[in-house]
């Protein structure tokens, strides 16, 4: 009996809950750290990016309108599915980052823990970042955080999974929707994560994943008028300057990030959650 034909996996984009190829037809080869071929990934175009932003905007009312508790449940379901695909992620992270399977297991475990951590913040962040304001007058004054809108996220170039989740999960926890540009050289874990999202309860369009070059897609994302905030982590120092310049035209929020990638295993804090929230203050007169 002859050996079975190997079934090569096709790595596509994730836009609006579907997995299209790039409209440009472009692909690029993905290799491991030793130069061995792993797969061909779609090379997203500007049209793909516009489609992703349109999908994210359409999904925003549904996702932001869900209760914080419900969003937490949905995100926790994603963590369950991540755990179920643990072995696949371990293999992909080990290949992408050139680390041993044991270290890759630790990375995947930390990734699931990070996702659960942010899922737990969905119904608590309003209590921590909101306030009842003291005022000198017969009024009630409350400050309530609200989701900013559509966020553009340039994922870290080196940390293919833990770094990716560390920049994506806070977007979703706050009720925003996301257009993510994955690591260019290490995109495969990001595509597999999108498969997890597609089979979870996250509505289509809430997360859109593009594979390609941050230097190419980043400025287009920053200049898009329907994007409200951007995280330039995956862009180089010069790329971040261009992104900030493009974002200024539409007064986007641009997250201030360090020149080098941070230690993604460190406790993340609330900085990224704050970045995707707008403070709305309400005044109401007291009754007699």
Q: Tell me: the pLDDT tens digits for 100-114?
A: 999 999 999 999 999
Q: Phi first, then psi: what are they for 127, rounded to 5°?
A: -70, -35
CA 115, CA 214: separation in Å to the nearest integer? 24
Q: In what order do the strands lie in the sheet with 229-231?
A: 207-210, 177-181, 150-154, 229-231, 253-254
Residue 2's pLDDT is what?
A: 62
Rounded-to-integer distance, Cα 151 and Cα 178, Å: 5
pLDDT exceeds cutoff 90 at 7: no
Helix (H) or strand (E) holding 81: helix 68-84
Run of H or E residues at 64: helix 46-65
Question: What b/e string do you get for 21-58 counting C-beta neighbours within 10 Å, with b at 16 or more?
Answer: bbeeeebeebebeeeeebbebbbbbeebbbbbbbbbbb
3-class DSSP state for residue 156? coil
pTM of the model: 0.93
Give mean pLDDT, residues 280-285: 89
Q: How confident is the model at residue 37 (pLDDT cuts 50, 70, 90)?
A: very high
Residue range 233-248: average pLDDT?
93
pLDDT at 209: 98
DSSP 202: S
Percent of the chain with pLDDT over 70: 99
Taking only the tens place, the pLDDT of each residue in 140-156 is 898 999 999 999 999 99
Specify the residue for token string 């440009």. Answer: 24
CA dist., res. 81 & res. 78, Å (int): 5
Distance in angstroms (rounded) separating the CA atoms of residues 93 and 188: 8
230 touches 47 (CB < 8 A): no
Contact 211, 42 (CB under 8 A): yes
* Domains along the sequence of the chain with CATH: 37-285 (3.40.605.10)
Confidence (pLDDT) at 1: 53
DSSP structural state of residue 270: S
Residue pLDDT, tens place only, 38-53: 999 999 999 999 999 9
Rounded Cα distance between 88 and 262, Å, is: 25
pLDDT in tens, 171-223: 999 999 999 999 999 999 999 999 999 999 999 999 999 999 999 999 999 99
- Coil, helix or strand at residue 230: strand
Q: Is the pLDDT of residue 276 over 80?
A: yes
């Amino acid at each position: 009996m002859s050996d079975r034909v190997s079934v090569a996996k096709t790595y596509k984009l994730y836009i609006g809950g579907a997995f299209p190829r790039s409209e440009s037809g472009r692909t690029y080869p993905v290799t491991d750290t030793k130069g061995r071929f792993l797969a061909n990934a779609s090379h997203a175009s500007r049209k793909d990016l516009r489609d992703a932003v349109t999908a994210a905007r359409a999904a925003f009312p549904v996702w932001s309108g869900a209760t914080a508790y419900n969003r937490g449940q949905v995100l926790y379901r994603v963590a369950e599915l991540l755990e179920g695909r643990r072995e696949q992620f371990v293999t992909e992270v080990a290949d992408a980052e050139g680390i041993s399977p044991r270290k890759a297991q630790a990375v995947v475990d930390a990734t699931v823990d990070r996702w659960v951590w942010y899922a737990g913040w969905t119904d608590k962040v309003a209590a921590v970042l909101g306030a009842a304001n003291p005022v000198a007058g017969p009024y009630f004054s409350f400050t309530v955080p609200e989701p900013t809108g559509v966020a553009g996220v340039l994922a870290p170039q080196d940390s293919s999974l833990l770094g990716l989740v560390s920049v994506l999960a806070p977007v979703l926890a706050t009720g925003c929707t996301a257009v993510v540009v994955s690591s260019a050289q290490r995109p495969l874990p990001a595509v597999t994560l999108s498969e997890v999202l597609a089979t979870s309860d996250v509505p289509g369009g809430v997360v859109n994943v593009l594979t390609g070059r941050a230097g190419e897609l980043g400025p287009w994302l920053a200049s898009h008028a329907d994007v409200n905030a951007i995280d330039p982590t995956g862009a180089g120092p010069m790329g971040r300057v261009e992104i900030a310049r493009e974002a200024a035209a539409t007064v986007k929020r641009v997250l201030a990030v360090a020149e080098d990638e941070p230690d993604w295993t460190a406790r993340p804090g609330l900085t990224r959650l704050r970045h995707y929230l707008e403070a709305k203050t309400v005044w109401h007169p007291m009754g007699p």
